[in-house]
Chain A
Amino acid sequence: MTSTSTRDLVSQPYKYGFVTDIETEKIAKGLSEEVVRLISSKKNEPKFLLDFRLKAYRHWLKLQEPDWAALGYKAIDYQDIVYYAAPKQQDKKQSLDEVDPKLLETFEKLGIPLSEQKRLSNVAVDAVFDSVSIATTYKEKLAEHGVVFCSFTEAVAEHPELIQKYLGSVVPSNDNYFAALNSAVFSDGSFVFIPKGVECPMELSTYFRINSGDTGQFERTLIVAEEGASVSYLEGCTAPMFDTNQLHAAVVELVVLDDASIKYSTVQNWYAGDENGVGGIYNFVTKRGHCRGARSRISWTQVETGSAITWKYPSCVLQGADSVGEFYSVALTNNCQQADTGTKMIHVGPRTRSTIVSKGISAGRSSNSYRGLVQVGPNAKGARNYSQCDSMLIGDQAAANTYPYIRSQQPQAAIEHEASTCRMSEDQLFYLQSRGIGFEEAVSMMVSGFCRDVFNQLPMEFAAEADKLLALKLEGSVG
């Protein structure tokens, strides 16, 4: 090897980089109160939502972009972004037959068939293209169980009381810079409501696709599981290759009541930029779950492989007694990618438990940081946390950092933190090779072995996909 061949190995072309040629309705670039009002009026929103947006916007104006993360990037010009873009089609379709075939084709190409015959069995999909949701599958079947799964826009029209009750209740509109921005201009996203006692009969999934080159994507996901309800939800993301950066600032809110559980899995494969760091998505995302009820449970699993910049800390507020929060993460960075990701586990209620397993893989000249907070409040008697943060370095030019923050105001809490760093060594690769295993397969075997604890947490259909995705990201021409 080997630094050369490892470099070749990790520079794999991005196969989702195509652009769909479709007529798009865009508003002019730039952000102002008028733009916020325009977005709201385009979506015929009720007044409470416009007020929510305006309050967020006015607050955002007073905020500074955070700079505490271990990330370096060119300043974002917020006036150079289009805040609303939608493929030109009539209002939300009643049937998939009416959806522009180009859009269906796009999702087909991405491996997300939306047409009736080819749908993934037992997975309902909401497909979001630029700023709007274009189709949601299996809606009727879910409705039979009382499960609501639809685009955010539809939810506002059909279930305004639920939106008004829960929107911003986990991530307030003034929570942070990017959450405030999202709250002001969010365009669409997914809404899930699982009523009391219902176990959602299928996996739910949202697939986000950025298509336009100058458009920001600001989606909003809200999932509510009432008492005793449970759901497993997966999101996937891709974008075309542009030599400019696109901003993605999403907000995800999860609410779980007594004995309810949400398992939220992400396979993030936004365009990461080229090998010199030109282009790629800036991914600034606020994800938070609120275990409101006793014995409630939230599990975040993420496989982060894309984006030029990743700033993301899926968190759990463990308020209900005996509630459980979990965070399982694989973050792979290559070339010039930068990731600052981790979680926050806020223990409020008694006997709350949390588990953090983070696996960072850095290749190329990338930088990969784990940043996590474990906070135990004065009432969280008997709280427990276990954290494990492992980093793997490939080649000799990548960086891995771990920033664990632990704050406890509760003497009867147990907090454990383990961390390790290893380098994928030439000798390990040679050992596998000398047993007939090709170089690429050897790398992918080691990487997937390293990530196994996390992959085991993914829904089965997606575990294999995630494994393949990492292999692809690390695959290339071995000389």
Chain B
Amino acid sequence: MIRPDAEPLLEINDLHASVEDKPILNGVNLQVKAGEIHAVMGRNGSGKSTLSKVLAGHPAYRVTSGSVRYLGRDLLELEPEERSRLGVFLGFQYPIEIPGVSNLEFLRVSTNARREKQGKEELDTFDFDDHVRDRLQVVQMDPAFLERSVNEGFSGGEKKRNEILQMALLDPVVAILDETDSGLDIDALRIVAGGVNQLASPDNCTLLITHYQRLLDEIIPDYVHVMGAGRILRTGGSELALELEKIGYDWVDQQLAAEGVA
């Protein structure tokens, strides 16, 4: 939902970042306001996933220049855990398995860390149990998954549901969903997308990182951005995604070649 008077939640200015001294992001500019859903598209290697990791604070990615303001503060100087507590959420493309750590306990500690920052009361094990069972409905997840170790032995679809469950619990201000649709069959995709739609509100914003149009059939973005060579090459409305479905990404190469980049 686009509102001209909405508050900017995330402002990315000329962001450059590298991994092992190899530059991946080369000047990303993006502003996301409250209530908006943005889709970031592009080929493999265009820098989409790197952008999401940098925003979440992955230690392997080094920001070389540029800035990211989040709710008026410098996001880049915050530790990853601090970003999460303040409402930045990254839904992982490949959620990590953590053997031996109970999913329920993990969700509770994580939720309480966020709640403390929000000035909300800490939930003890009993209250949390009720709370999480309520949130499970968002992704129609079987409570049995709470008893297992974090993501251990989950199928691809179960892992993605577990990500959206975390999103539902953490009540983020900025939700960045990295290839949330990958590995999902059409039913699971609908459930996951339904969860994301339920959680979107006029007070938060969503950044969908995706390859495919099919997720955008379920979650209608307000803006679509196309990334190439580590920056945003083109921005449009939801119709841009449909156009890309038809024309593909060859024009990206031509544009970059014309600029002398590729």
A residues near B, CB below 8 A?
A: 1-2, 422, 425-428, 430-439, 441, 445-446, 448-452
Contacts and interface: CB of A to CB of B under 8 A. Distances in A.
Contacts of B79: 433, 438-439
Contacts of B106: 432, 435, 437, 445
A422 B99 contact: yes
B252 interface: no
A439 B101 CA distance: 15
A320 B149 CA distance: 39
B170 A435 contact: yes
The A interface, classified by DSSP as helix, strand, loop or mixed, is: helix
Interface stretch (B36-44, B51-59, B226-234): B51-59
A437 B81 contact: yes
B99 A432 contact: no
B154 interface: no
Given A422-B99, A446-B101, A449-B149, A433 B80 contact: yes
The 6 A-B residue pairs with the shortest CB-CB distance, nearest first, are A449-B100, A436-B113, A449-B101, A435-B110, A436-B84, A433-B80
Interface in B63-84: 79-81, 83-84
Given A1-B59, A426-B60, A433 B98 contact: no
A439 B81 contact: yes
Contacts of A426: 59-60
A450 B80 contact: no
B166 interface: yes
A436 B101 contact: no
Interface stretch (B89-97, B119-127, B212-220, B241-249): B89-97
A428 B96 contact: yes
B174 to A, nearest CB: 13
A427 B166 CA distance: 17
A436 B114 contact: yes
Interface of B: 56-60, 79-81, 83-85, 90, 92, 95-96, 98-102, 105-106, 109-110, 113-114, 149, 166, 170
Given A435-B110, A437-B110, A452 B100 contact: yes
Contacts of A2: 59
Given A430-B56, A434-B56, A450-B100, 17 more contacts: A432-B101, A433-B57, A433-B80, A433-B81, A435-B166, A436-B109, A436-B110, A436-B113, A436-B114, A436-B170, A438-B81, A445-B105, A445-B109, A449-B98, A449-B99, A449-B100, A449-B102
Contacts, number: 78
B96 A431 contact: yes
A445 B101 contact: yes
Contacts of A428: 96, 98
A90 B58 CA distance: 63
A1 to B, nearest CB: 5
A394 to B, nearest CB: 14
Contacts of B60: 426
Contacts of B85: 436
A433 B84 CA distance: 8
Contacts of A431: 92, 95-96, 98
Nearest to A438: B81
A449 B113 CA distance: 19
A438 B83 CA distance: 11
B162 to A, nearest CB: 11
B81 A436 contact: yes
Contacts of B149: 449
Contact of B58 (A430, A437, A439, A449): A430
Contacts of B95: 431
B20 to A, nearest CB: 13
Nearest to B107: A435
19 contacts: A2-B59, A425-B96, A426-B60, A430-B58, A430-B96, A431-B95, A431-B96, A434-B80, A434-B90, A435-B84, A435-B106, A436-B81, A436-B109, A437-B109, A438-B79, A445-B106, A446-B98, A446-B100, A449-B98
Contacts of B110: 432, 435-437
Nearest to B100: A449
Given A435-B166, A437-B110, A430 B80 contact: yes
A1 B79 CA distance: 11
B185 to A, nearest CB: 24
A437 B113 contact: yes
Determine which residue in B59, B81, B166, B170 has the highest number of CB atoms from chain A within 10 A of its CB, and name it.
Answer: B81
Contacts of B81: 433-439
Nearest to A441: B109
B111 to A, nearest CB: 8
A434 B110 CA distance: 9
A452 B58 CA distance: 28
B167 to A, nearest CB: 10
A284 B85 CA distance: 47
Contacts of A430: 56, 58-59, 80, 96
